């Protein structure tokens, strides 16, 4: 069943005057994932609609959209081989994996560079037999959700920063209240104030609760 809200919040971007709006749907209703055991994942998410995407100077690839309730951000840290994903129409987030579909029918299969997710990787890939995948390993996969009323999280604000991760962690909460050295993942909250992060080798996960919202990110081990 597709979850469609009665009122749509629309926001403009100056880049191309595209209206950004997406709707949430149950991953079990996405045809490619009907055989996937969704209970294995902490914070699964599927969004279909219009997205903005860009690469920061810190090599973070950002995917941004809005629903009628929240501002949704996906951050890929150390995004190397694929420099651009354009015309995005659907994003499926599965903790350590992000599957992105564009309007041209291309599929981008992105996952965290970590050996312990090999079994899940195999299970998810089994849904794509016979399909061509653009694969990318990243050192950090972050999902953030903020209330639609949050003026601090604005598409133009985050486009103008060198690092979205630094921008959010500096302005919400710098402390690491969950995760920490040795942790590969953590999450906080839910709904329009939730966040989740999965980190690759050489990084640890950090999650914190702030007055304005939650923040999740990867930190390089020293």
Extents of the domains making up the chain: 11-171+192-197
Which value, in Å, is the radius of gyration of the alpha carbons in the chain? 16
Cα separation, 17 vs 151, whole angstroms: 19
DSSP lists the bridge partners of residue 147 as: 70
pLDDT given at position 174: 62
Question: What is the pLDDT, as a whole number, of residue 31?
Answer: 67
Among residues 26, 28, 33, which one has the least CA distance to residue 4?
26
CA-nearest of 186, 193, 170, 173 to 218 is 186
End-to-end CA, the chain: 46
Task: Dump strand ranges (E) for 51-153.
Answer: 52-55, 60-66, 70-77, 88-94, 97-102, 107-112, 133-138, 140-147
What's residue 5's pLDDT? 34
Contacts of 154 (CB under 8 A, 6+ apart): none
Please give the pLDDT value at position 3: 34
pLDDT of residue 151: 81
At residue 75, the pLDDT reads: 95
Beta carbons within 8 Å of 192's beta carbon, 6+ residues apart: 69, 70, 145, 146, 147, 148
Report pLDDT for 29.
Answer: 56
Residue 33 pLDDT: 76
Q: What is residue 63's predicted lDDT score, i.e. its pLDDT?
A: 95
21 close to 10: Cβ distance less than 8 angstroms: yes
Report the chain (222 residues): mean pLDDT per 10 consecutive residues.
32 44 73 76 90 91 92 89 83 96 94 94 90 93 91 84 83 77 88 86 87 80 85
Considering only CA atoms, which of 99, 104, 124 is closest in space to residue 47? Answer: 99
């Amino acid at each position: 069943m597709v979850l469609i809200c009665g009122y749509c919040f629309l926001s403009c971007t100056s880049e191309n005057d595209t209206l950004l709006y997406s709707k949430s749907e149950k991953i079990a209703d996405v045809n490619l994932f009907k055989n996937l055991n969704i209970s294995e994942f902490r914070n699964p998410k599927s969004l279909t609609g219009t997205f903005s995407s860009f690469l920061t100077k810190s090599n973070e690839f950002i995917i941004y959209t809005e629903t009628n309730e929240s501002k949704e951000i996906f951050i890929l840290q150390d995004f190397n081989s694929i420099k651009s994903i354009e015309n995005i129409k659907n994003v499926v987030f599965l903790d350590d994996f992000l599957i992105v579909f564009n309007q041209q029918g291309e599929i981008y299969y992105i996952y965290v560079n970590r050996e312990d997710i090999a079994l899940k990787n195999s299970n998810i890939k089994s849904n794509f037999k016979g399909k061509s995948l653009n694969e990318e390993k990243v050192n950090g996969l972050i999902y953030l959700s903020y209330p639609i009323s949050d003026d601090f999280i604005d598409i133009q604000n985050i486009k103008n920063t060198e690092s979205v991760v630094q921008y959010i962690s500096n302005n919400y909460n710098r402390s690491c209240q969950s995760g920490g050295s040795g942790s590969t993942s953590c999450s906080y909250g839910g709904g329009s104030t939730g966040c989740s992060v999965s980190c690759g080798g050489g990084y640890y996960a950090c999650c914190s609760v702030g007055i304005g919202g939650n923040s999740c990110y990867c930190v390089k081990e020293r």
